[in-house]
């Protein structure tokens, strides 16, 4: 096994306080099914799934209730046993209203699993088919259907890279998974390597996760084809392009994808879902979530059923403190502030942060100082101040020429701006306009 002592990283980035101490030593707890789940038909990149059930249908836990529609879409399974009470619009954690299946939970749970498959004898095609059938989506943010990622068009894949960085502050779910399910992650990685015929696997982990690095290192002592690479603790170390640059020193050109430079990236949680789907026949019906922040009474790492309303999770964690200011789904850098706690967790929900008045500051924006600090930290070498300015002046074509559509909306520039200019918010707006107006 290869093990590199040097701390690899990428250019730019920031190092915000991590606040991981709130939950990093807390083992996963399993939350019982809530009284009702609200399962959105769209919890992945691509077309919403097509419902296969109607109002009144009785369903079992793990039963297919909506099927993928088109190539980029994903199957959805019931996360509880119960009765479908309606298919209707509901607010989701991204702030949009989405068609969703409401299921009232029955106390007597019955499971409906797929047959287990032999992880040694399985073929590449069987792996991809099972991942597709199980409705597995990437858990790193965009919720891209996993089987599509594993079917690169005529590309030779040299490396499968697992993203063990978890560079967003507060979140500790991937760290806990690496500690609690070490061997399953390695088996999942081997399955992904087989699916894309890659000869090498790499797990990139930020160097603040010592226990995870040590556990994986020990478990990998008999594997010559998988390496662990400790990386400098820095945000956004877990962004795909940054990770690839740091671990194999390849650059993904603008508009291209990891497979264009011979690699596939998967998240730690996705890898476990793949292992569970193949070895245990389990579809993706739970989400591993960090519930943290100084505003929650009992921070936890939690396994919750997909479709559980945020309010039920918050109550399971002891409720919120009176000085709570903001609730965010995801990490504080890229997550989304919530306005309705009836929104349900989805397959890709990574965290629920309940922040109090110490953790939330209202900044006063001032004029740009032309200090260049936003340019210094942008990992993609963009000029955030100029992109924001061009958006303010509605010069979307100029912004596009300067690379606005490449921005990954990491928020690093905004974090580093002494004038408190909401750069990423302007850039996000400009990016949407540039993509919709200019072909
Ligand atoms: S949000 Fe965009 S412009 Fe700002 S640092 Fe990240 S990639 Fe660069
Ligand atoms: S960091 Fe803020 S103040 Fe400095 S150049 Fe960028 S936008 Fe202007």
What pLDDT is attached to residue 11? 81
d(CA 281, CA 113): 5
Cβ 410 under 6 angstroms from ligand 1: yes
Percentage of the chain modeled with pLDDT above 90: 92
Residue 251: pLDDT above 60? yes
What pLDDT is attached to residue 1? 41
DSSP 20: G
CA of 235 to the centre of ligand 1 (A): 11
d(CA 170, CA 332): 8
Residue 360: pLDDT above 60? yes
Is residue 6 very low, low, confident or very high in pLDDT (cuts 50, 70, 90)?
low
Cβ 427 under 6 angstroms from ligand 2: no
CA of 165 to the centre of ligand 2 (A): 28
Residue 435 parent element (H or E): helix 423-437
Q: Of the candidates 387, 377, 396, which has an alpha carbon nearest to the alpha carbon of residue 422? A: 387
Atom of ligand 2 nearest to the CA of 369: 3
Give the mean pLDDT of the chain. Answer: 94
Least confident of 104-113, 148-157, 305-314: 148-157
> How many CB atoms neighbour CB 179 within 10 A?
19
What pLDDT is attached to residue 61? 98
What is the pTM assigned to this prediction? 0.94
Least confident of 98-107, 142-151, 176-185: 142-151
**Average of per-residue pLDDT across 186-200:** 97
Cβ 384 under 6 angstroms from ligand 1: yes
| pLDDT digit string, tens, across residues 81-94 | 999 999 999 999 99
CA of 409 to the centre of ligand 1 (A): 5
What pLDDT is attached to residue 9? 77
d(CA 58, CA 78): 10
Cβ 364 under 6 angstroms from ligand 2: no
Cβ 299 under 6 angstroms from ligand 1: no
CA of 379 to the centre of ligand 2 (A): 15
Bridge partner residues of 64 (DSSP): 77
Cβ 407 under 6 angstroms from ligand 1: yes
Is residue 140 very low, low, confident or very high in pLDDT (cuts 50, 70, 90)?
confident
d(CA 205, CA 165): 5
CA of 240 to the centre of ligand 2 (A): 26
Which of 413, 416, 417, 425 has most ligand 1 atoms within 8 Å of its beta carbon, as the pocket-test mutant? 413
Q: Whose CA is nearest to atom 5 of ligand 1?
A: 378
Residue 317: pLDDT above 50? yes
Helices (H), 107-200: 124-133, 146-149, 173-180, 182-196
Residue 329: pLDDT above 70? yes
Atom of ligand 2 nearest to the CA of 370: 5
What pLDDT is attached to residue 4? 42
């Amino acid at each position: 096994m290869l093990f590199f002592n040097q701390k690899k990283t990428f250019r730019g980035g920031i190092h915000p306080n991590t606040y991981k101490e709130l939950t990093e030593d807390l083992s996963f707890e399993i939350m019982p099914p809530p009284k009702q789940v609200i399962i959105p038909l769209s919890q992945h990149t691509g077309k919403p799934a097509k419902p296969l059930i109607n109002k009144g249908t009785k369903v079992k836990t793990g039963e297919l209730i909506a099927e993928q529609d088109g190539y980029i879409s994903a199957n959805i399974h019931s996360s509880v046993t119960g009765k479908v009470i309606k298919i209707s619009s509901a607010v989701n954690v991204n702030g949009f209203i989405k068609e969703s299946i409401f299921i009232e939970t029955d106390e007597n749970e019955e499971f409906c699993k797929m047959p287990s498959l032999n992880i040694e004898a399985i073929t590449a095609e069987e792996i991809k088919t099972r991942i597709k059938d199980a409705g597995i989506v990437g858990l790193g943010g965009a919720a891209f259907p996993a089987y599509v990622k594993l079917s690169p068009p005529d590309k030779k894949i040299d490396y499968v890279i697992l993203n063990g960085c978890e560079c967003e502050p507060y979140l500790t779910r991937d760290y806990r998974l690496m500690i609690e399910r070490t061997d399953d992650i390695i088996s999942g990685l081997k399955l992904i390597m087989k699916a894309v015929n890659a000869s090498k696997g790499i797990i990139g982990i930020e160097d603040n996760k010592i226990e995870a690095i040590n556990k994986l290192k020990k478990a990998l002592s008999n594997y010559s084809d998988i390496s662990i690479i400790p990386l400098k603790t820095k945000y956004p170390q877990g962004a795909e392009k940054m990770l690839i640059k740091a671990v194999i020193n390849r650059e993904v050109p603008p508009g291209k994808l990891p497979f264009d430079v011979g690699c596939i990236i998967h998240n730690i949680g996705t890898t476990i879902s793949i292992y569970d789907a193949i070895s245990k026949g389990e579809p993706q019906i739970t989400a591993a979530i960090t519930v943290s922040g100084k505003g929650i009474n009992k921070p936890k790492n939690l396994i919750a059923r997909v479709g559980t309303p945020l309010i039920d999770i918050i109550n399971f964690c002891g409720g919120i403190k009176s000085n709570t200011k903001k609730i965010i789904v995801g990490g504080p850098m890229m997550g989304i502030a919530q306005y309705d706690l009836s929104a349900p967790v989805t397959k890709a929900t990574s965290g629920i942060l309940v922040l109090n008045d110490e953790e939330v500051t209202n900044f006063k924006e001032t004029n740009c100082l032309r200090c260049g600090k936003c340019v210094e930290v942008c990992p993609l070498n963009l000029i955030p101040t100029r992109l924001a300015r061009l958006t303010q002046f509605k010069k979307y074509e100029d912004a596009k020429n300067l690379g606005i559509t490449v921005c990954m909306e990491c928020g690093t520039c905004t974090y580093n701006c002494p004038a408190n200019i909401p750069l990423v918010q302007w850039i996000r707006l400009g990016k949407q306009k540039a993509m919709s107006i200019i072909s």
